[in-house]
Amino acid sequence: MAVVLAEILAGLGLLFFGLKTMSSHLQSATGRRVRALLRSATRSPFVGLVSGIAAGAATQSSNAVALICGNLVRGGVFTTRDAIPVVAGGNVGTAALVFVAAFDFRLVVFYLLALVGFGFHFKLDRRPAWKEWLWVALGLTLALLGLDFIKQGPRDLDVALISQALDAGLSPGMGFAIGMAAAALCQSSSTPTILVLALMQARLLGLEDAFFIVLGANLGSGLATLVSSGELEGTGRQLCYVHILVKAIGCAVLLAAWIAVALAGGDPEAALAAAGGSGGAQAAISMLFLALQLAGAVTVALARGLTERIAVRFSPPSMEDDASRPRYIHRRAAEEPATALDLSERESMRLIKLLPNLLPDLDRGGADFSTQERNAFWKGSTAIVQAVDHFLVDVIRAGATRESLDIALRQQARLETVRALVDTLHDFSGVVGEFETVPPLAFNLSESLRVIVLSLAEATDGGTGDDFDLLIGLTADRSEMLDRIRRALAASEAGGEADSRRLMHATSLFERAVWLVRRVAVALRPPPIEDRAQDGDPARQEAPEGVA
């Protein structure tokens, strides 16, 4: 018994590790092509369904597809409505592993393992074009080897004794509960189904018991998505409820069919066995698993509007969603570089105007935004930065002219500075928030930084060259003054060692934030020739270069 248990557990370990390895390296190997595939998947429900099936077959985790799409929705790549068919198709794709487990593939595993081993021996993993794909093949090999261990594990069990125990104590409700618990533990519906196939191969489990265990595993894996979704909320969490809906509809349809056959005087177990054809009971369970996914996926994909309303009802948009949703850029605009760069510029300017929201207003007792709300603004700002960055990359890849390319590269460089400024302001607010009573130095630093950031936001909103010159002057080098503050803090014991460390850290973050504000101001300042044109002085406009 101990050997059998060890073999099954080893198989599960290999399966989990193989799927994880295959999924992570497949993502690295495909890179932006996966992103482009998911974007194109939103063009129609059918294309989304097919793309979801491909993603589910590749990752062998419908939960992973739902969570990835949830993060992409939160990042503004596409909407919940667009992503619903992708999530639905992801469930169907996971059936591939169950079908593979129903057949003898040991010879394929041996040849595949030899192929991977020779690939590493001849150092093919050192070639960039081969490296990730070789690891994908290794992950697939380990997953298949794990499946073989799981299938072969129960062969030495006492069939008569275990069958008697199962026949005596496994009711439909208990089987359903076992399936739910196993799926919640494995974060997958396909893994418990594969275990069921192994038990059926050893003749330890009947078809009726297997039916209810697979049903429970199907619903349990959907509910497990809420646990693995972690901190996702708002629009990012909506697709988790879509995933649950796919699972629940599949279970409801198949359970209703089982009950209907029984009420009609038929034998539902015999009907299920007939669905397996010549493949027997194992093929019947594979067909059952596929039918569960298809029943829910097709229904949800065809009723996207209703599905979206249900998802929004359970997970309404959060403040972070509002803060992270771009207003100007959209993926189709990237096809026209000139217009696209104007839109990305407007989005960047809007982001800079929101920077003061990242800092507490201590002069008003911090009554402007709570810590939670400032964190939402920070996450939203980070999402906007990423969205604009991806947008600029798409513009460049669309074949921009030399002039447009120069503008895009300058915007990217400035965006990187803004990204650093966003993180620095967030860190500074976090340090100030750690004080039970804010010391005078921290108060002064925070209010000074807020004034500087507000000045940047105001200058961005239609400011002239003089406004930027004033801001550049305000953010001039203050290293000597800040060094004096640090030396005073090091020599002082007032407030305790912890407060002194926080003040030292706040001072460093203040210095970095001021420096970053200065870099943004210098990048945004209109060229001097434009300032002179605004002054309306033709003589000054025509002054030769280098003349004051």
- Render pLDDT for 165-184 as a digit per residue (tens, 0 to 9): 555 556 888 889 988 888 87
pLDDT, greater one: 237 or 510: 510
pLDDT, greater one: 259 or 194: 259
Q: Is the pLDDT of residue 216 over 60?
A: yes
Q: Could you tell me how far CA 175 lies from the centroid of its own chain?
A: 33
Report the distance separating Cα 385 and Cα 412, nearest Å. 10
The pLDDT confidence band at residue 535, using thresholds 50, 70 and 90, is very low
Q: Is the pLDDT of residue 151 over 60?
A: no
Q: Which residues contact 275 (CB under 8 A, 6 or more apart)?
A: 284, 287, 288
Report the distance separating Cα 548 and Cα 540, nearest Å. 9
Give which of 57, 155, 141, 58 is closest to 106, Cα–Cα. 141
Write down the pLDDT at residue 528: 65
Q: Is the pLDDT of residue 263 over 50?
A: yes
Write down the pLDDT at residue 255: 94
- Render pLDDT for 470-524 as a digit per residue (tens, 0 to 9): 888 878 866 676 677 666 665 555 556 777 888 888 888 998 999 999 999 988 8
Give which of 324, 352, 348 is closest to 232, Cα–Cα. 324
- Render pLDDT for 38-59 as a digit per residue (tens, 0 to 9): 666 666 778 888 888 887 776 6
Write down the pLDDT at residue 540: 38
The answer to whether the beta carbons of residues 210 and 200 sit under 8 Å apart is yes
Q: In this structure, how many other beta carbons lie within 10 angstroms of the beta carbon of residue 432?
A: 24
Name which of 75-79, 104-108, 154-158, 383-387 the model is least confident about. Answer: 154-158
Q: Is the pLDDT of residue 408 over 50?
A: yes
Buried b (16+ CB within 10 A) or exposed e, 83-107: bbbbbbbbbbbbbbbbebbbeebee
Mean pLDDT of 326-349: 80
Mean pLDDT of 191-211: 81
**Mean of per-residue pLDDT scores for the chain:** 78
Write down the pLDDT at residue 112: 80
Report the distance separating Cα 82 and Cα 207, nearest Å. 38
- For residue 417, the one-letter residue type is T
DSSP secondary structure, 261-311, as one string? HHHTT--HHHHHHHHTGGGHHHHHHHHHHHHHHHHHHHHHHHTHHHHHHHH
Write down the pLDDT at residue 153: 56
Q: Is the pLDDT of residue 249 over 90?
A: yes
pLDDT, greater one: 468 or 67: 468
How many alpha carbons fall within 13 Å on the CB side of residue 404?
21
pLDDT, greater one: 540 or 33: 33
Report the distance separating Cα 431 and Cα 428, nearest Å. 5
Report the distance separating Cα 284 and Cα 258, nearest Å. 14
Mean pLDDT of 329-355: 82
**CA distances (Å), origin 343, targets 213, 328, 330, 527:** 53, 6, 9, 21
The pLDDT confidence band at residue 264, using thresholds 50, 70 and 90, is very high
- Residue matched to tokens 């009609």: 264
Q: Which of 3-7, 70-74, 383-387, 413-417 has the highest mean pLDDT?
A: 413-417
Give which of 432, 440, 428 is closest to 511, Cα–Cα. 428
Q: Is the pLDDT of residue 382 over 70?
A: yes
pLDDT, greater one: 547 or 115: 115
The pLDDT confidence band at residue 231, using thresholds 50, 70 and 90, is low
Write down the pLDDT at residue 114: 85
Q: Is the dihedral of CA 240, 295, 284, 207 positive or negative?
A: positive
Give which of 211, 124, 227, 222 is closest to 173, Cα–Cα. 211
Buried b (16+ CB within 10 A) or exposed e, 457-475: bebbeebebebbeebbebb
- For residue 536, the one-letter residue type is G
Give which of 137, 155, 195, 139 is closest to 11, Cα–Cα. 195
- For residue 181, the one-letter residue type is A
Q: Could you tell me how far CA 513 lies from the centroid of its own chain?
A: 29
Domains and CATH numbers, the chain: 2-314 (no CATH), 336-534 (1.20.58)
Write down the pLDDT at residue 420: 94
Q: Is the pLDDT of residue 422 over 90?
A: yes
Write down the pLDDT at residue 175: 87
**CA distances (Å), origin 118, targets 17, 133, 134:** 21, 14, 10
Ramachandran quadrant class, 326 (left: phi over 0; alpha: psi -120 to 50; beta: rest) = beta
Mean pLDDT of 331-335: 69
Report the distance separating Cα 454 and Cα 540, nearest Å. 32
Q: Is the pLDDT of residue 18 over 80?
A: no
Q: What is the pTM of this model?
A: 0.60
Q: Is the pLDDT of residue 147 over 70?
A: no
pLDDT, greater one: 79 or 3: 79
Write down the pLDDT at residue 103: 62
Write down the pLDDT at residue 156: 55
